[in-house]
Amino acid sequence: MSEKLSFVHPTPNSPWGTYLQQVDRVVPYLGDLAKWAETLKRPKRALIVDVPIEMDDGRIAHYEGYRVQHNMSRGPGKGGVRFHPDVTLEEVMALSAWMTVKTAAVNLPYGGAKGGIRVDPKKLSLKELEKVTRRYTSEIGIIIGPHTDIPAPDVNTNGQIMAWMMDTYSMNTGGTATGVVTGKPLHLGGSLGRVKATGRGVFVTGREAARRLGLDLRGARVAVQGFGNVGSVAAELFAEAGAKIVAVQDHTGTVVNENGLDLEKLIPISRTPAGAAGFEGGDKVPNEQFWEVACDILIPAALEGQITAERAKKTKAKLVLEGANGPTVPEADDILAERGVLVVPDVICNAGGVTVSYFEWVQDFSSFFWDEDEINVRLDRIMMNALNQIWDTADKHKITLRTATYAVACERILMARQERGLYP
Ligand code: GLU
């Protein structure tokens, strides 16, 4: 993090800097609403908390936690919580801002927020993980709530962590507040289809983009970076549609097979400490080679800043589906556009997760739960409507899908901002 961090002076090459450039690019398309655009460049509120816990060996460890509420013009804050050793306040600011754009792009009645703890959860015991989660939830409890800001899973967090968050918030407030977090286990007010929703949304937007490009999914070659909840589910759905998964990279390494990797064997191994690198049914190659693999579709589904200018020059893909948040830096975006590579941006491509989070939240409030078909049909409809509208905007102004998504989303956000008016 920059020593002189301020909202408007990002650290060079940081996710927040990427986000600010993405906003600058949309301003010319905002008409009279442009006078409110500065709103988008400043988070509404950012909280830093100390998370002290007693470790199993009796030591007291301190972790740093964050919750940033970027914008609440259109509804309560919404966005995941990430546990990762590299989390910084500035990163969480960017992730919260991307949630604002994402919820507006698919027209959910939410603003954007995000949280994180700078911790390596792989180094904690289960008991320590529970303590970190509960203390963090208690500390951010002053700003979250079912009607104010609703956390969810993100990198290295899952249903069990959401259950502890829901319990902690409920113990502190005296009731059982299922609607305070989404991505919960099914018997605690969770929703069918939530676990796979982000990967499914990547597939739905990818299928439509491929159709428009005239790219047949049968036999299409797909490369996936990041093989967690997003990348592995998207890979399975593309394979079901007849595509070949020719390369997978996770934190353990890169495995390639031009005839297609056997996902039924690869997925279980990737869940063990051996990771994708432990899979025998493909060739292990140096990580940098992943970016030049012969493929039609590239799915970055790991962390920010992965598609750099160099990698954008190398890729053979015709279509990039951003399962991760912020995987492409602005310079790389320009190179991909010049090279005719179509990018379906994160803020629409991976919006399936928060869309089913919204369904979960609605189900919790109505205490009436839907079947999985209903969820998947509604998810498909919301994603397709949003994508079609964005595509029309891109065609009309001759701009990239990313800038078009920002145009549609930022108009909704800033219209709400203007109609609400400034207080006082
Ligand atoms: N962490 C996910 C995202 O980046 C989901 C957020 C949510 O469901 O609120 O979109």
Give CA–CA dist 29/380, Å, rounded.
28
Q: Say how many residues make up the chain.
A: 424
pLDDT interval class at 7 (50, 70, 90): confident
pLDDT at 108 over 50: yes
Ligand 1 mean position, distance from CA 353 (Å): 6
What DSSP state is assigned to residue 278?
Answer: G
Domain architecture of the chain: domains with CATH: 43-176 (3.40.50.10860), 195-349 (3.40.50.720)
Ligand 1 binding pocket includes 79 (Cβ within 6 Å): yes
Which ligand 1 atom is at minimum distance from the Cα of 354? 8
pLDDT interval class at 3 (50, 70, 90): low
Ligand 1 mean position, distance from CA 79 (Å): 5
What mean pLDDT value characterizes the chain? Answer: 97
Q: Average pLDDT, stretch 186-195?
A: 97
Phi, psi dihedrals of residue 398, rounded to the nearest 5°: 55, 55
First to last CA, the chain: 33
> Do β-strands 81-84 and 112-118 pair in parallel, antiparallel, or remain unpaired?
parallel
Question: How high is the pLDDT of residue 282?
Answer: 98
Ligand 1 binding pocket includes 149 (Cβ within 6 Å): no
My answer on whether omega of the bond before 330 falls inside 30° of 0, hence cis, is no
CA angle 180-186-192, nearest 5°?
A: 100
Give CA–CA dist 292/424, Å, rounded.
55
**Are the beta carbons of 15 and 90 closer than 8 angstroms?**
yes
pLDDT in tens, 318-342: 999 999 999 999 999 999 999 999 9
Ligand 1 mean position, distance from CA 96 (Å): 10
Ligand 1 binding pocket includes 341 (Cβ within 6 Å): no
pLDDT in tens, 224-243: 999 999 999 999 999 999 99
CA angle 153-247-274, nearest 5°?
A: 65
pLDDT at 5 over 80: no
Least confident among 3-12, 224-233, 388-397: 3-12
Question: How high is the pLDDT of residue 9?
Answer: 87
Strand locations in 55-140, DSSP E?
Answer: 60-71, 77-78, 81-84, 112-118
What DSSP state is assigned to residue 14?
Answer: -
Residue with tokens 């609607």: 179
Substitution site in 68, 99, 356 for ligand 1 pocket (most atoms within 8 Å of beta carbon): 99
Spell out the alpha helix ranges (H) of 27-62. Answer: none
Question: How high is the pLDDT of residue 1?
Answer: 47
